[in-house]
Amino acid sequence: MGEQALTAAHDNPDGDAPFREHEARAVAEDEGRRAAERKAQRPVGKRCRRRSTDER
């Protein structure tokens, strides 16, 4: 029963918009997680005890 009938597909006015919204949220969460991981891996200065930045 995983298939959608043709009439049901036509009755879905949103189309694949919910899928695109979900995909966009997942991508944003993934980018945020990667940024946090990068920040955690940055070296800490010996004197100032501050982490370096991504700016080069």
Residue 28 has pLDDT above 70, yes or no: yes
Residue boundaries of the structural domains of the chain:
15-56
pLDDT computed for residue 15 by the predictor: 72
Q: What is the model's pTM?
A: 0.52
- In the 8-state DSSP scheme, what is residue 12? -
- pLDDT value, residue 2: 63
Which DSSP string corresponds to 27-54? HHHHHHHHHHHHHHHS-B-TTT--B--S
Mean pLDDT of 15-29: 89
Instruction: Find where tokens 């049901």 sit.
Output: 8
Q: Are 54 and 38 in contact (CB under 8 A)?
A: yes
pLDDT value of residue 42? 86
Where b means 16+ CB within 10 Å and e means fewer, 39-52 reads eeeeeeeeeeeeee
